[in-house]
Amino acid sequence: MTRFFKALLATCTLAASQSFAAAPVPVVASFSILGDVARAIGGERVKVETLVGPNQDAHVYQAKPADIQKIRAAKVVLVNGLGFEGASIQRAVRDSKVYSLAASKGIPTIKVEEDDHDHKGHDHGHDHGDVDPHVWTNPAVMQRYAQNVAGALIIADPEGRLYYGQRLLDYQQTLRELDTWAAQQFDSVPKAERKVLTGHDAFAYLGKRYDVQFLSPQGTSTESEASARTVAKLIQQVKQEKVKAVFVENIKDPRLVQQLAKEAGVTVQTAPLYADALSPAGGPATSYVNMMRHNVTQMVKAMK
């Protein structure tokens, strides 16, 4: 009988320790793509909430009181950094005193040439400065991004070190395979024809990785205004260079691209690109990997 009670006590203790370990770590990610990476690495040990959801534009998003509560209740807050998040989110994270990390830390950045777009109104309390924040469009550098996320989760939950470490290795392998696949897709298009027009300048890292030229009326922030001169130059360029891959984005008002395409005599592709946000459930871009596969597939199809 004593042995039975000892076994029962041991079982109860084990169950208690497992239920304690199973209480997920509250994590806040600033936007949906980063939230997906955090879930991929965190698995069952984390509960991730995002501030800027699917199909929402982080460039113009204003933090709400509910967001501030989420941040304060978190054990770790993940942001992209490089000025991607608006001033209100940056302030809420800073004021909360909760441990936070920029997932882009240590990733080589691309400088923004403002003259390329000749746009105005690039402020409203949200400025990228001279750096393009859209590092996630290159799956090769996402290995470092994912490593930074894993590091932040380990600091918040040291007992999960081995768990996060293994999931990181698995995810990095997935990213390597994604990079290889994307390179093969773009290699099927002659370099001279690798040209894509999008609403705002969100794909420079992808362009640099796979030798694709991206054109856009707006700069790296959707808050920037496209000047009449920039739009006129783009219309001419699209006509002269016979650019076929013209896309709207899921986070942006499509009218500027539609008007530009109409004047250039080209057709806008029916499927949008997902630049700064995932698609809602049921869409083609519910995860980072799905998003990249969708974008690359659509671009390559349109360029051919």
pLDDT, position 252:
85
Question: What three-state secondary structure class fits 246?
Answer: strand
Q: How many CB atoms lie within 10 A of CB 242?
A: 10
188-198: average pLDDT: 97
pLDDT, position 223:
76
pLDDT, position 20:
40
**CB-based contacts of 68: which residues, under 8 Å, 6+ apart?**
92, 96
Q: Match 């930074």 to its residue by tokens.
A: 148
Backbone angles phi, psi at 69, to 5 degrees: -65, -45
Residue 255 pLDDT level (bands cut at 50, 70, 90): very high
For residue 122, pLDDT over 50 is answered with no
112-132: average pLDDT: 52
**Proportion of the chain above pLDDT 90, given as a percent:** 80
Task: Report the alpha-carbon distance of residue 121 to residue 216 in Å, rounded.
Answer: 16
pLDDT, position 129:
59
89-115: average pLDDT: 93
88-95: average pLDDT: 97
Q: Model confidence over 18-43: pLDDT tens digits?
A: 434 569 999 999 999 999 999 999 99
pLDDT, position 15:
41
pLDDT, position 10:
52
For residue 171, pLDDT over 60 is answered with yes
pLDDT, position 226:
83
For residue 14, pLDDT over 70 is answered with no
Quote the longest CA-to-CA distance of the chain: 89
For residue 253, pLDDT over 80 is answered with yes
pLDDT, position 7:
52
pLDDT, position 128:
47
- Cβ atoms of 287 and 41 closer than 8 Å: no
Q: Minimum mean pLDDT among 10-24, 68-82, 102-116: which range?
A: 10-24
Closest CA to 150 of 64, 302, 39, 65: 39
- Cβ atoms of 30 and 80 closer than 8 Å: yes
Task: Identify the sign of the CA torsion 139, 143, 144, 150.
Answer: positive
Inter-CA distances, 268 with 102, 202, 228, 258, Å? 35, 18, 20, 7
Q: What integer best gives the mean pLDDT of the chain?
A: 89
Residue 204, H or E segment: helix 204-210
pLDDT, position 222:
77
Inter-CA distances, 75 with 46, 72, 86, 138, Å? 10, 8, 21, 28
Six-digit token string for 50: 């995002």
Residue 228 pLDDT level (bands cut at 50, 70, 90): confident
Opening angle at CA 194, ends 191 and 200, nearest 5: 145
Beta strand ranges found along the chain (DSSP E): 25-31, 46-52, 76-79, 100-102, 110-111, 131-132, 195-197, 213-215, 245-246
Q: Model confidence over 270-300: pLDDT tens digits?
A: 999 999 999 999 999 999 999 999 999 999 9
Closest CA to 30 of 224, 261, 277: 277
Give the domains, in start order, of the chain with CATH numbers.
21-103+110-121+129-171 (3.40.50.1980), 190-303 (3.40.50.1980)
Predicted TM-score of the model (pTM): 0.88
234 half-sphere exposure, CB direction, 13 A CA radius: 31
53-80: average pLDDT: 96
pLDDT, position 120:
33
Task: Report the alpha-carbon distance of residue 180 to residue 15 in Å, rounded.
Answer: 44
